[in-house]
Chains A and B, each alone.
Chain A
Amino acid sequence: MRNFLFFLCLILILSSCKNEHVEVKKTATTNQTFIEVTLEDIPTVNYEGLEPIFNKKDDKTYVINFWATWCLPCVKELPYFERINQEYKDVEVILVSLDFPKQKEKRLISFVNKKKIQSQVIHFDDFNEQVWIPKIDKNWSGAIPATIIYNKNKRKFYEQSFTEEELQKEVQSFLKS
């Protein structure tokens, strides 16, 4: 009976999770002026809500970077991702923030506005990390920065920091294939 109650609670918790699917749009072009974001502009999603961004089947190459405002190596390489997003027409960068839920407004939103980030930013928040981390990639320890680059032909996972040159080279290797 206790087990049953426990699973009932688990189901209730799971089903009460947010389940909004993320609509990925190119938010900016090179010359577009930056419009300040508010809390609503950066959706907070759980794993179920995040999953569609890993499974796009169109002709674009997707560069998905896991980062957080408190992660210094992540912040350092963000401009490289921003430039990739602006320079390549067929490449879409999505920045998945692992900032703590309580710090979304104070840290994440103000950071995006301060740095005038043009790439799509998604705030990711889920519990049960022993399950979602290996789902994103079975080799991922959960540490950031981490990046996935994929298109309909190819997929690679990187648990590392990039130099701008390395990142450009990796992205270009996807455009040739």
Chain B
Amino acid sequence: MKTTMKSFLVITVLIIATAFTINPDKGYQVGDDAADFKLENIDGKMVSMANYSEAKGFIIVFTCNTCPYSVANEDRIIALDKKYKAKGYPVIAINPNDPKAIEGDDMADMKVRAEEKGFTFPYLVDKGQKVYPLYGATKTPHVYVIRKEGAKNIVEYIGAIDDSSRNPDAVTKKFVENAVDNLLAGKKPEVTYTRAIGCSIKTVK
């Protein structure tokens, strides 16, 4: 019985591992030192990672108002912040969309949405769309888990929140939670890269 269980586990891990051997073309890779940013929050204040002297790291989520995948993940993003802020990994949300390219994603819309949903984390504007290309984000939502190491911000996980973006009731693997749990335990995340599922980031062509 035990051997069957073990070989089943090994096969499953192998299948999952092969499904994850895709790398983004550009932007940060896991292990890179991510640049800090200074972006305006919906309350008018400027926010940088450097403001969080107590944090052990960050859950950076590129997300927006208008994408149905982002909306479907809002409650999960709030839950991540509630669970991990106190443990040293707060959520920082960044809206990468150009509000000129899509209706519903400007600062005023973001304020309304954050208030409606009761966002417990900063919701920043990627003004001029400088930050998301640097990180290599392509989707909303697109998550980067970052671990602070001295003055460095090391990228530890890139991808999706979990394995069921459209249906929270069908989630079997919580990629971000697992990654942060491992980091909190002083270990490396087991899964470091997944496909971010969502809408393309909107730019004026």
Interface residues of A (CB under 8 A from B): 3-4, 7, 9-10, 13, 68, 70-71, 98, 100-101, 125, 127-131, 133-134, 138, 141-143
Contact = CB atoms under 8 A, between A and B. Distances in A.
Contact of B163 (A7, A125, A127): A127
B164 A128 contact: yes
Interface stretch (B52-60, B115-123, B192-200): B192-200
A3 B163 contact: no
Interface of B is mostly: loop
Contacts of A134: 19, 22, 195
B68 interface: yes
Interface size for chain B: under 10, 10 to 19, 20 to 34, or 35 or more residues? 20 to 34
Contact of B195 (A9, A125, A129): A129
B171 A127 contact: yes
B164 A133 contact: no
Contacts of A7: 5, 8-9, 12
Given A127-B171, A130-B20, 15 more contacts: A3-B5, A7-B5, A68-B68, A70-B68, A98-B166, A125-B167, A127-B163, A127-B164, A130-B19, A130-B173, A131-B15, A133-B195, A134-B195, A142-B197, A143-B139
B107 interface: no
B41 to A, nearest CB: 28
Contact of B172 (A4, A128, A138, A141): A128
